[in-house]
Structure formats: C-alpha cells, structure tokens
Structure 1
Amino acid sequence: MELDFIKLSPLGNTTVFLRGEAARDAHAALLCEAMDYDHLAAEQAGFLVAPHTGEALLRVEMAGGEFCGNATLSAAALAAAEGAASPFFVECSGAAAPLHAEARHLGAGRWLARVEMPQAHELRRLSLERESLGATALGGAATCVALSGITHLVVEAADLSAAGYDEMLAFLMREAKADAYGVVPFERMGCDRFRIRPYVAVPSAKSRVFERACGSGSLALALAEGSADKRIAVEQPGGTLFVERGVRLFLEGEVLISCRGKVELAGVAR
C-alpha cells in the first residue's frame, strides 16, 4: 500500500512519520517496514493520526505505543512548518494529555523546537553490586526512571561495550515492564552538562538502536540527577538537547525536516 511520509531528523535521531488510511492493527508492521534500510532508513517511526482532544493540532502514535521526546519535538517542528502559530499543543502516544509546544524557523528546513514533557514518572534506585554482568564492570547503583510508555536505566559510566549495553538492557527488562526500554550511560562534563550514548529497545517493533539522540533518555537523566529548577545540556552523538526542570518539564533541540513523499509498504488499506 502507498502512504505519505515525512522524514525528520531531531539531532540525527532520524524519525519517519506516516500519514494515510491503514488499519490500526497494521500500524506496527507498517512502521517497522518503513524504518528499514530498503525503505526510509530511520531509527524510529510513528503514525500521524487524529488528535484525541480538540486543543491539539496533531498526534503521533509510535511503533510500540511508547512516548518519545524526539518524536514530540519533531511533531512541533512539523506543525510549525505546516503553518501553526506558536504556541500550540501536540499529542504523543504514552502521554496522557496534550503537550505545550512551540517552534522557530532557523532556515533551510531546520527548526528550533521546545516541547513540554509528561510530568508522570517514577524513580527507583537499583543496586548493581549483586548482578552478574560479565561484560560490564560497574558497581554501585543505577536509577530506573519509568516515564509514560518507556523506562530508562540511567547509570554513570563511560565507554560501555556493546555487550555491556545488552547486559544492562536485559537487567532492566527483568526489573521493569514497559512498552520500550532505554539504557542511558552518562558522563559529567561540567556544571549542568552531561554526555550520553543512548540505546533504545522497542520489543513490539523488534528494534534495538544506538540512537544519535534520545529525548526521553535526556529527560530521564535530568530526573535521576534531581536537577530541579535547572536547565541542563545533554550532549549525545547527534548534538545537544536541553532539558528544563521546574514547575513543568521541557525539552528543546533542533529538528531538520529533510524530505517528504510516498512510500510503498505491505499491508491492506482500511
């Protein structure tokens, strides 16, 4: 079946949005196919669907039904590019309510987007000392940060091996049940500045990706660090995201709208 697509890049975390009539139970398979190398070669994907509330301009449903900070940033950039005057509201799967958003055009398809993040979260400190992590020489504690639809394991570590990431992911999946999981090792780079290399798994989409940028992972780090009433910078392979933690939570970063068109995917139109 033929569907419209928009490909965006929030700091290199390539994101595809699909538009068109498709059965809801076919969305996950279509999104997985759209992400693959032979099609649109993206790290993540979501369907643009009608908002659940009248105040939101658009809604993104991610492949695993999870919340995604960078997809929400991308939705804000897309809404502004399609004529929305800031501020406005967007919705994302995994978030219980519409989210305040704004975006400013930077030129050449680039937008600086700022979006509210869901407030709901739960923090748990987990001990690593008794864990059998053969490839991961870590001690002490990590923080399990449960957000809407995705749970991250935040741990202070540098140069974690690929096997170490998978061990930490397996540990997290034993400790928590979620639509999606992330491993977020971090380094301190100075006052209110951190560096991460995020690894995200969405079991229903059968995907495991070293993301070039992760919005929810950056938010999880801010929450784990207790950075109240602060703005922190989170460096990652694709660039720097900013998290503001105060009365409300906000994520800010650049988004490139790179291309639009039609993609041919398997499936049956509704």
Structure 2
Amino acid sequence: MEVKFIKTNPTQNMTILVESRHGREDYGQVAQRMMSYDHVFAEQVGFIEQAEGQEAWARLQMMSGEFCGNAAMSLAAVMAWKWNLPLGRSLDIPLEVSGADQLLSCRVTADAAPGYTCRLELPPPLSIEPSVLLLRESALTISAALVRYPGICHAILEVAPGEVNLRSIAEQAVQSLAATCDEQAVGIMLYCPDTQEMEPLVYIPAASSLVWERGCGSGAAAVGAWLARQQQRHIHTQIKQPGGTMEVWAQIENRQITRLAIQGQVHISASGTAYI
C-alpha cells in the first residue's frame, strides 16, 4: 500500500498527516506502522479528509477519532504551505476536526520557511472536575483534576519542582483513567505550577499506544482551562513542555470556560510516499 504523507513538527510533537485516501477501517493499521521506529516514525498520525460541510477547508480525522490540537494546527500549517502564504502574512483557516462538534478556526502566520505560528481556537471542555486515580501496582490513589473533551480526557497532576519517580506513577494512573474514562484517548499531564512546566503522557487504548510526548496541545489547553476554573479569572499563560513552549488563553464567565485557544510553532519536516 502506498501512503502519501506530510510530516510536521508542532512543538516537537512529531505528527504525520496522511494525504492519500484510505478507508477509515485501515486507519489504525496505517497509523501504527507509520508511527513505528523502523518506519516514518512519529508520535501520532492524522488523516486529511474532504470536509463534510461547505465552510471548512478540510477535515482532520485522527487515528482513533480523538481530538488533537497539535495535529489540527499542523493541518492548518500544511494548507498555508500549499497556498504559499507569504512571509509575515496571516490566514484564518476553518477546519473540521475529529472530537470537535463545531468548526474550528486556526490563524496561521508564515515565519521563516517552512515554519508557521498557529493559534487555534478550541471548543470549551465538556467538564472540569476533581478525580481520584488508582495506582494499580500499589493500590494507592492519587488526586487529580479531570478535564474532558469529546473523545479525549486529561488528568492533571500537580507536581513540585524536582519531584522524582512520577513517570512510573503516571503510567500506572493512565491505565486506571482509561478504564473509567471510556474515551478514544486519555492523557496524564504532570504540571508544575511553580515553573509552568508540563510533561504529557498520552495513551490510546485501541492502538495500545503509550507515549511520553514532547508536546501536547489539548493537554496544554486543559491546564489553561483548569487554571482559569481554579483561580476564577481569565488566564493567559505559557506552558513549557519538553519540545518547547505553548501559549494558552482561557476565558471564564460564571464558572464556565467561554473561550479557549492555544498557540505554538509548526514546521514542515518532510513529505513523500511511505509503503505499508
């Protein structure tokens, strides 16, 4: 099987976007092969489809139907790249994205080629609530904040600067979260308020994919929404991740998130044909 693809770098959350047409029943097989170390290699795969409505320029369908902010920004950057957006110019690109039941807008500004600054407007989370996660190996529990989107939920664990052995704790907790959340994708965001640093762990049960990502757009948005709810004020903050920094805006009215946006850098890394 020949697969036409573009590989992008949104905050080092390496993303493959498949351009060629394939049946959705094949998405899992194609994605798992392309993500592997001995193939194209990336942290996630999305599929570019024709939009269902007339207003969107294209549709992004993730491997398991989950929502992904970085992949959405990557698709917007790819479209600006194909349109040869001039250096310094901006373009608002409407997209349909799996896991979002409304049209999303991404403002793309062309930087030094082939790089783009992308600001994506996200739907507000379905809910933000306290939760308790089970650590399976020890049968202990840990408190978290649970932020839900359609198709994906993120648990935010507050950590202190220099706190150790948290990766093993997160990997235990994500299994518990997947069992109770019943979503296509789940994440554990280790967030340090003192330094504004975040380490994202994302698990896709259907693909048995467990990845410590270099960057997570929906996870950064979840932290911004949680901070706005926790502090009961509008938030504009920077979230530092292993692959770089993302900006987050969250507005709140009457304890409800009314607007949410993330901004990051996307670079076009490669394009070509893969063989499955």
TM-score normalised by structure 2 residue count: 0.88
Partner of 1:222: 224
Shift of 1:111: 0.6
Are 2:124 and 1:119 equivalent residues in the alignment? Answer: yes
Name the CA distance, whole Å, in 2 between partners of 1:86 and 1:108.
Answer: 15
**In the alignment, is the contact (CA less than 8 A) between 2:57 and 2:93 conserved in 1?**
yes
Paired residues for 1:1-270 under 5 Å: 1-83=1-83, 86-127=91-132, 131=134, 141-157=143-159, 158-189=163-194, 194-226=196-228, 228-246=233-251, 247-265=258-276
Gaps of 5+ in 2: 252-257
Deviations 1:55-106 (A, max 9, x none): 1111111111100011111112112112176112012111111101111111
Paired residue type of 2:274:
V
- Look up the equivalent residue of 1:154 and give its one-letter code: I
Q: Which runs of 4+ in 1 moved over 6 A?
A: 135-138
Residue identity matched to 2:218: S
Take 2:125 and 2:172, find their aligned partners in 1: how far apart are those partners? 27
Alpha-carbon distance, 1:108 to partner? 3.0
Instruction: Write the deviation string for residues 209-234 of structure 1: whole angstroms up to 9, x where unpaired.
Output: 00000011111111222264221110
The worse-fitting range, judged by mean Cα deviation, of 90-99 and 227-236 is 227-236
Q: Is the 8 A contact 1:135 1:161 kept in 2?
A: no
Q: Output the amino acid matched with 1:143.
A: A
Q: Which amino acid aligns with 1:204?
A: A
Separation (CA, whole Å) in 1 of partners of 2:120 and 2:237: 15
CA distance in 1, matches of 2:57, 2:34: 24
- Counterpart code for 1:166: E
Q: Which residue of 2 aligns with 1:268?
A: none
Percent identical among aligned pairs is 30
Question: 1:34 offset after TM fit, Å?
Answer: 1.2
Kept in 1: contact 2:69–2:217 (CA 8 A)? yes
Letter in 2 for 1:19: E
Q: Is the CA contact (8 Å cut-off) linking 2:77 and 2:266 kept in structure 1? A: yes
Residue 183 of structure 2 aligns to a residue in which SS? coil
Q: Deviations over 1:196-254 (max 9, x none)?
A: 10000111122110000001111111122226422111000000011111242111000
Q: Offset at 1:13? A: 0.3
Offset of residue 255 of structure 1: 0.5
Higher relative contact order (CA 8 A, sep 6+): 1
The one-letter code sitting in structure 2 at the alignment partner of 1:260 is S
Q: Secondary structure at the match of 2:175?
A: helix
